[in-house]
Amino acid sequence: MTTNPFRVAIVGAGPAGIYAADLLTKAERDFEVSIDLFERLPTPFGLVRYGVAPDHPRIKGIINALIKVLDRGDIRLFSNVEYGVDIALEELTDRYDAVIFSTGCFIDASLSLPGVDLPGSYGAADFVNWYDSHPDVAQTWPLDAEKVAVIGNGNVALDVARVLAKQADDMHSTEIPDHVYEGLKSSKVTDVHVFGRRGPAQAKFTPLELRELGHVKDVDIIVYPEDFEFDEGSLAAIESNNQTKQVAKTLTDFTMREPVGAKRRLHLHFLHSPVAVLGEDRVTGLRTERQELDGAGGVNGTGSFHDWEIEAVYRAVGYAGTALPQLPFDEAKRVIPNHEGRVVDADDQASAAEGDVVQGVYATGWIKRGPVGLIGHTKGDALETIGHILDDRAAGVLTEPVYPDDSAIVELLESKGVDFVDWEGYHRVEAAEKALGEVEGRERVKLATREAMLREAREQVRSESHSGT
């Protein structure tokens, strides 16, 4: 008598999902596991592929580590399969002992300001999707504004500001396709203003990203001495945290730099809280209120306002999770409500009780805890979630699947006509992108449309079919 392996489905093939799969394969256990990854896009890797700026190859290098995990061959990939459209929850629970959701956060968090919906006001995630060539967004982006504001003091705000300020030719060596390069080359931007409501010691930039600004060609970095307040709370943060110390030092060093008359200027403003986007038919300005530090890491408004002449606003105040069909969702926290990765059937995570646990359904990554922390932090999330899955299996509380065979999911998708892409198909996409890059002396050039990726993923299959192999 053969025993079926413990079957796990993971919905979302970004770092969180791949880390969870990897950790489960390496966990100490006395039984066989079978893991399938599902991804709605034709390619895996989530925000590493579509959320990291193209001029940051060091961070994008994380993909190489993820590729090594999937290259082992003990984890199957089903890309171009959208949960809630191509496959439903009960179809997964009928075929797997456990289902993990790792769908991440990929839309902009809301920002409630008068005028925030005016034409010329954009979410940073939308802009990032454009310059990262996300297949589900348009290939054009309006870059006709000369003076631009970026609201936010984190790395996404810094990425957006840097890409807006950088000369297109300095981006051409990256993986951006022609439509992004031509769009950036046509940009009329002269001044990019980054606004943070707290002080320099409270900025959420990472030191390396901030230092990179100082090396961007033909861009003057401009800071304002009056913004550099360091109260007792700021000084304590600087002394106790090396990252904060490095950020504060770099920003302070910027105050001693003289502008050299570059074609573009990147202004870093602190202690300015946006209160309204100005304009009638489109954005014409941004109003901020001057803030003062409260001694404990926070700020208070001073009642002093300033109107800035701005023609476009980018909101980089964080990402947010999206609700998934057939699953509970916490609208306030924008996550799937859960207890340490076990999904609970409640609309408010705080009010959920242990008895509300949805057996066999789990969450990991940003959709579990919100968009906080760097990519590597998702490993800790995955470890916690995987631990509970193994505990639940040992306790005998998981329901065995109705269709336990590995072939059951393939048969289902094929019966529905779902054009899924496997791991070999991804490698064909990767090879096509590298071939495009080789022509131009670049490492790779991204395929920018879903159709192009699916065509390349199928190319070898068609060729083999035509050749009779």
Which domains does the chain carry?
Answer: 6-106+321-420 (3.40.50.720), 107-319 (3.50.50.60)
Q: Report d(CA 321, CA 330) in Å as an integer.
A: 9
- Residue bearing tokens 């207890």: 339
Q: Is the pLDDT of residue 142 over 70?
A: yes
- Angle at Cα 242 formed by Cα 236 and Cα 245, nearest 5°? 60
The pLDDT value recorded for residue 465 is 43
The pLDDT value recorded for residue 28 is 86
- What integer is the mean pLDDT of 411-421? 97
**Are residues 80 and 41 in contact, defined by beta-carbon separation less than 8 angstroms?**
yes
Tokens representing residue 347 in the block: 């609309």
The pLDDT value recorded for residue 120 is 97
Q: Is the pLDDT of residue 284 over 60?
A: yes
Q: Is the pLDDT of residue 463 over 50?
A: no
- What integer is the mean pLDDT of 430-435? 96
The pLDDT value recorded for residue 462 is 44
Q: Is the pLDDT of residue 273 over 90?
A: yes
Q: Is the pLDDT of residue 348 over 90?
A: no
Length of the chain: 469
**Are residues 106 and 334 in contact, defined by beta-carbon separation less than 8 angstroms?**
no
Q: Is the pLDDT of residue 467 over 70?
A: no
Can you give the pTM of this predicted structure? 0.92
- What integer is the mean pLDDT of 429-458? 95
